[in-house]
Amino acid sequence: DKPYYILALETSCDETSVAVVRGGREVLSNVVSSQIDTHRQFGGVVPEIASRKHVEVMTIIVEEALSQAGVSLTDIDAIAVTQGPGLVGALLVGVVAAKSLAMALELPLIGTHHIAGHIYANALVGDIEYPALALVVSGGHTEIVLLESEGKFRILGRTRDDAVGEAYDKVARALQFPYPGGPYVDKLAQSAEDEIVLPRSWLEPDSYDFSFSGLKSAVLAEINRSRMKGESPDFSALARGFQQSVIDVVTTKAMRAAAAFSARQVLLCGGVAANRGLRERLAALCEEASLPLLIPPHKLCTDNAAMIAAAADLKWRRGEFSSLDLKAEPVFSL
């Protein structure tokens, strides 16, 4: 059992990340170069700029990840890369870099699904017990996924409009916070003394789907109502109302799914897993239901390449490799 090393690349959105992971679980390096300062001035990610920035930094980040891990390219056993979903031009940079490395070093290439990465970030912090119920909440995704067994995913529900993080960012903008504003709304909601109660979007009684665009509109409508009356809107009470509505709906649906499918564990992942209110509520509900809960540390929740290595490890152990004509898949099913 010689230790093996996976070099993983992630470029699906606005983070260029490269990681070296030993034995599928030991993160030796996980370098993340964020473009957020560049995109902030536009209030969101500009795809064309994202691709160009990935090209600029890719080789530097690969070298940095190797050097931090204390290994050289000749130690690497496989190259993993995010194949999709994501911005097509951004994905392409990672895919081309990964193929070049695999070809030059004559190493197996492992194409990986971005959401499988977010979910398997949990394997870097604990043992996953199946069936497991994963709640994926990020800027681009909101999904309830059942892991029937290792690497076997079943999507039970997803958002029909905005992703949770996207809704947070839009509300944050209305509350005059810079992009990405999710963490500001979280902080304001935590310190709020009052709450403006906002609607909960449960959808059909048996649905595990989500909808957040109505909630976002409700926040905007409250702001307008105050301004029409010549009053200044109570931003903190609105932040609290928004956060409570989101947390109620996502945790209730996740716990209902966990019970319905006899999950033995709950996994939380994606950038919004940093939300303190969400972590606390889910932890309390899981304790009540005597269900173990895994939440990766913040650095493994936001986009990073170590999680891609963790998901690629499932395929490595099964010898499931990709061919060199692997394509970037902007829309990619799990």
> Binding site for Fe cation, residues?
114, 118, 303
Looking at beta carbons only, is 208 or 242 nearer to ligand KG4? 242
Looking at beta carbons only, is 186 or 209 nearer to ligand KG4? 186
- As measured in angstroms, the least distance from the Cβ of 298 to ligand KG4 is 8
Q: Which of ligand KG4, Zn ion, none binds 272 (CB below 5-8 Å, type-dependent)?
A: ligand KG4
- As measured in angstroms, the least distance from the Cβ of 70 to Zn ion is 28
Edge-first strand listing for the sheet containing 5-10: 26-34, 15-22, 5-10, 78-84, 109-113
Q: Which residues bind ligand KG4 (CB under 6 A)?
A: 13, 138-140, 165, 168-169, 180, 182-183, 186, 270-272, 274-275, 302-303
- Plot region of 297 (φ>0 → left; ψ -120 to 50 → alpha; else → beta): beta
Q: Which residues bind Zn ion (CB under 5 A)?
A: 138, 303
**Strand 142-149 with 132-137, pairing:** antiparallel
- As measured in angstroms, the least distance from the Cβ of 236 to Zn ion is 29
Q: Report the candidate in 240, 245, 300 with the shortest Cα–Cα distance to residue 267.
A: 300
Within the chain, residue ranges assigned H as helices are 36-40, 47-69, 88-105, 114-120, 164-174, 182-191, 213-228, 235-260, 276-288, 298-301, 306-318
Looking at beta carbons only, is 34 or 226 nearer to Zn ion? 34
Q: What is the C-alpha separation between 155 and 153, in angstroms, rounded?
A: 6
**Secondary structure of the chain: what % helix, strand, coil (to 5)?**
45, 20, 35
- As measured in angstroms, the least distance from the Cβ of 87 to ligand KG4 is 11
* Residue 43: both structure tokens together: 């209030």
Looking at beta carbons only, is 5 or 184 nearer to ligand KG4? 184
Q: Which amino acids are annotated as binding site for substrate, given as ranges?
A: 136-140, 169, 182, 186, 275
Q: Which of Zn ion, ligand KG4, none binds 14 (CB below 5-8 Å, type-dependent)?
A: none
Q: Which of ligand KG4, Zn ion, none binds 84 (CB below 5-8 Å, type-dependent)?
A: none
Q: What is the C-alpha separation between 293 and 128, in angstroms, rounded?
A: 10
Q: Which of Zn ion, ligand KG4, none binds 180 (CB below 5-8 Å, type-dependent)?
A: ligand KG4
